[in-house]
Amino acid sequence: GKFNKGIPIIMGWNLFDAKLFTYPGFHFPSDEGSLLTLEQTKCTLRRGLGQEKAAKLMEVYPPRRSYGVFDNRGLLGEMSTDVLFACPNSRAAAAMAAQNGSAWVYSFRREPTCSPLSFPGPVHGAELAFVFGNQEKMAAFYRHQTWSHCTVAPQDKALSQTMMRLWGDFARQGAQPAAWPQWSADAQPVLKLELASSLSRLSVETGFRKGQCEALAKAGLQAATTYVGPYLALPYCQDFGRRLSDQEEKAQARRAPSVFV
């Protein structure tokens, strides 16, 4: 597509961006319980993507058996975040850099103390209250929803000040401080927005999610259908009523057409 490479941009994603979509969409009623077993995960990927693509995806995100509090919901959230947010942002920044455009990439990683969202953590939209400095209003919304007290942590307020300064200075100057390097194909620097910092001591990680995005691209698993297929298949796999063995599930997957091929 066409774009104005003369206009610098900020782009990025939240660490658990897709959790807000995968958890409720995949019929997990809360952040606790409703575990996703190894068998259900394999069924979801095989039925949603087909045998070949599911096998490739499980090489990048290997599911494990559920023990205690561990289950595979986080794996689906991680995969969906990469497919829908991390990798598309990286590709867009790379396209900008290839045309001598200017892009700065961030990863928001802080869990807000007073989030009214159903699932806690740095999920989709969690960074907005930090950018606009309206955390107290979000806390009031939280108290209204939950009828419980919540006070915005000083660390949240401090990080918000850092982010507002970064976004405000960028709007005025069209550039970021030297501590936040511009995106380049070699280094692929990503600003970690987790703790407050002076603008001269920002925390940057290079090559964040690079390996996962390269593996997904090599396997041909970049399209949004990599998310949508399992999304549509999971309710079926959650309602088995019994756990299928690998052999049984593979046989059933061969008989049933995939949601997406």
Put simply, whether the predicted model's pTM sits higher than 0.85 gets the answer no
Q: To the nearest whole percent, how much of the chain has pLDDT over 90? A: 49
Task: Please answer whether residues 176 and 209 qualify as being in contact, where contact means their C-beta atoms are separated by less than 8 angstroms.
Answer: no
Residue 17: closest CA among 106, 94, 95, 91: 106
* Alpha carbons within 13 A on the beta-carbon side of 236: 18
Distance (Å, whole) CA 43 – CA 60: 17
Task: Please answer whether residues 142 and 114 qualify as being in contact, where contact means their C-beta atoms are separated by less than 8 angstroms.
Answer: yes
Distant-in-sequence, close-in-space partners of 68: CB < 8 Å, separation ≥ 6: none
Q: What's residue 256's pLDDT?
A: 43
Beta strands 9-14 and 103-108: pairing type? Answer: parallel
| DSSP letter assigned to residue 32 | S
* pLDDT tens profile 3-23: 777 899 999 999 999 988 877
Least confident of 7-21, 22-36, 130-144: 22-36
Given its phi and psi angles, is residue 229 left (phi above 0), alpha (psi -120 to 50 degrees) or beta? alpha
Q: What's residue 257's pLDDT?
A: 41
- In the numeric block, which tokens belong to residue 187? 């280094």
How far, rounded to the nearest angstrom, does the alpha carbon of residue 126 sit from its chain's CA centroid?
Answer: 12
- In the numeric block, which tokens belong to residue 258? 């995939």
User: H helices within the chain, ranges in order?
Assistant: 19-25, 38-49, 51-60, 73-81, 87-98, 128-132, 135-146, 154-173, 210-218, 225-238, 246-255
| DSSP letter assigned to residue 261 | -
Q: What's residue 255's pLDDT?
A: 46
Residue with the two structure tokens 């949508």: 228
pLDDT beyond 50 at 122: yes
Domain ranges of the chain: 9-109+181-255
Task: Please answer whether residues 55 and 110 qualify as being in contact, where contact means their C-beta atoms are separated by less than 8 angstroms.
Answer: no
**Coil, strand, or helix at residue 75?**
helix
pLDDT beyond 50 at 106: yes
